Amino acid sequence: MAKVLIIGAGGVGNVVVKKCAQVPQVFSEIVLASRTKAKCDKIASEISRPIVTEQVDADDAKQVSSLIQKHQPKLVINVALPYQDLPIMEACLATRTHYLDTANYEPKDEAKFEYKWQWAYHDRYARAGIMALLGSGFDPGVTNVFCAYAQKHFYDEIHYVDIVDCNAGEHGHPFATNFNPEINIREITQKGKYWENGRWVEIEPMSVRKDIDYPEVGPRASYLLYHEELESLVKHIRGLKRIRFWMTFGEQYLTHLRVLQNVGMTRIDPVEYEGHKIIPLQFLKAVLPDPGSLGVTYKGKTCIGCIFDGVKDGRRRQMMIYNVCDHAECYREVGAQAVSYTTGVPAMIGAKMMLEGKWKGAGVFNMEQFDPDPFMEDLNRYGLPWKVLDGKTLEC
Ligand SMILES: NC(=O)c1ccc[n+]([C@@H]2O[C@H](COP(=O)([O-])OP(=O)(O)OC[C@H]3O[C@@H](n4cnc5c(N)ncnc54)[C@H](OP(=O)(O)O)[C@@H]3O)[C@@H](O)[C@H]2O)c1
């Protein structure tokens, strides 16, 4: 039915390509492009359908435009890094091609993620008659859709939302990150932030901890972080009084992170080393395990969801909507661990929503702005089944 161009051949790109290949009635032709073409070729060799592979430097909007002109895809799925969001959006605008990503733009020299740079494209996308869907991973992504679903079916007003993200898996390495180490460490070393009574409250990194009882996993230490879906959800959820985001971290992970920070290895400013300028965090990425390689030994589960507290027909209602995903099962299906899987599957489903016309619009959109029902149906169909737990609260 439609040709897609997927940019990025890392942990998430591998899953997106393999899941799109499973749905040929929608993704009739697939082009995979990345900075290192050999990684695209490796993924291509692992699927039975033929796909086209290309080399591209997606920091350069002109290169991306030429690639789009060459292949004429209907949609570009961006699963490279957040730094490439703007050049790829620019190329989509120049060629009037639909756009989708899983993470919002960050400038390289400042660990700050905000939607303002991408939302600024709204009017130009609307005038060009094309659509950009932002944050179609799990969190952001599925968590936004869980909120839209709760708002549509279970609540008149949602007063409190806690997004909870637990990885209870063990990969056997003393220290590794589950997605791109540079992006991951930038995210968790910046100040935490949540939204309450109409304003943002900032906290020191990892300074608020709570033991949360995760369904099918059990209690885990969870830390309050800032996460990008909070910024769009405060605009779109009715009656909201507070929204927060929590993520689990083990003691071993936090000890390693503290040491790396204390010795300066998480710095993102250039330092002089033997006549070269290097960025310590980029060097650290080069010596840490590749997240895509963790799947071989990964055991255990992830549990990610939203805990809601609000009102329906004048009565208080508390509940959780969540998914549990098993690392080893993901590896058996697509050769990836669950963090890549839970990001790649929603990217495929978001693209499917756009190509089937179930989600359509001209401009730049976040996930919760569309009807959640067809997306929720496809989560069950394509490997991320979800459950509702009535009466669930945040307390252990
Ligand atoms: N929403 C969610 O739930 C969620 C969760 C996890 C991750 N994510 C996002 O998913 C994206 C991919 O993560 P990942 O773990 O797959 O990262 P990854 O394994 O590091 O893969 C990134 C890929 O992008 C390619 N790339 C980097 N710079 C490029 C450039 N200038 N031009 C072309 N290709 C370039 C890399 O190429 P090389 O191989 O040559 O380096 C690599 O193939 C990230 O944006 C991440 O933030 C979202």
Cβ–ligand 1 contact at 44 (below 6 Å):
no
Res 88: pLDDT = 98
The pLDDT of residue 186 is above 90:
no
Res 140: pLDDT = 98
Cβ–ligand 1 contact at 140 (below 6 Å):
yes
Tokens representing 190 are 């910046």
Q: For residue 88, how far is its CA from the centre of ligand 1 (angstroms)?
A: 13
The answer to whether residues 68 and 76 touch, using CB atoms and an 8 Å cutoff, is yes
Q: For residue 185, how far is its CA from the centre of ligand 1 (angstroms)?
A: 14
Q: For residue 310, how far is its CA from the centre of ligand 1 (angstroms)?
A: 37
Where residue 352 falls among pLDDT bands split at 50, 70, 90? very high
Cβ–ligand 1 contact at 320 (below 6 Å):
no
Cβ–ligand 1 contact at 228 (below 6 Å):
no
Q: For residue 84, how far is its CA from the centre of ligand 1 (angstroms)?
A: 9
Amino acid at 378: D
The answer to whether residues 255 and 140 touch, using CB atoms and an 8 Å cutoff, is no
Query: Ligand 1, atom 7: nearest CA belongs to which residue?
Result: 179
Sheet of 131-134, strands arranged across = 52-55, 27-34, 2-7, 75-78, 98-101, 131-134, 363-366
Res 396: pLDDT = 59
- pTM metric for this prediction: 0.96
Where residue 364 falls among pLDDT bands split at 50, 70, 90? very high
Pocket test for ligand 1, best of 180, 293, 340, 366 (most atoms within 8 A of CB): 180
Domains and CATH numbers, the chain: 2-134 (3.40.50.720), 142-336+383-390 (3.30.360.10)
Cβ–ligand 1 contact at 180 (below 6 Å):
yes
Cβ–ligand 1 contact at 102 (below 6 Å):
yes
Each residue's pLDDT tens digit, 8-52: 999 999 999 999 999 999 999 999 999 999 999 999 999 999 999
Q: Which atom of ligand 1 is nearest to the CA of 140?
A: 1
Each residue's pLDDT tens digit, 209-264: 999 999 999 999 999 999 999 999 999 999 999 999 999 998 899 999 989 999 99
Nearest 10 degrees: Cα torsion 121, 122, 123, 127: 100
Q: For residue 181, how far is its CA from the centre of ligand 1 (angstroms)?
A: 10
Q: For residue 394, how far is its CA from the centre of ligand 1 (angstroms)?
A: 32
Longest Cα–Cα distance of the chain, Å, equals 68
Res 183: pLDDT = 85
Cβ–ligand 1 contact at 78 (below 6 Å):
no
Each residue's pLDDT tens digit, 124-179: 999 999 999 999 999 999 999 999 999 999 999 999 999 999 999 999 999 999 88
Cβ–ligand 1 contact at 368 (below 6 Å):
no
Pocket test for ligand 1, best of 14, 53, 81, 163 (most atoms within 8 A of CB): 81
CA atoms 189, 99, 293, 18: torsion sign: positive
SS (H, E, C) 290-318: CHHHHHHCCECEEEEEEEEEEEECCEEEE
Cite the DSSP H helix spans in 96-141: 116-119, 122-128
The pLDDT of residue 108 is above 90:
no
Mean predicted lDDT score pLDDT of the chain: 96
Average pLDDT over residues 97-102: 98
* 315-326/386-390 β-pairing: antiparallel
Res 59: pLDDT = 98
Q: For residue 80, how far is its CA from the centre of ligand 1 (angstroms)?
A: 4
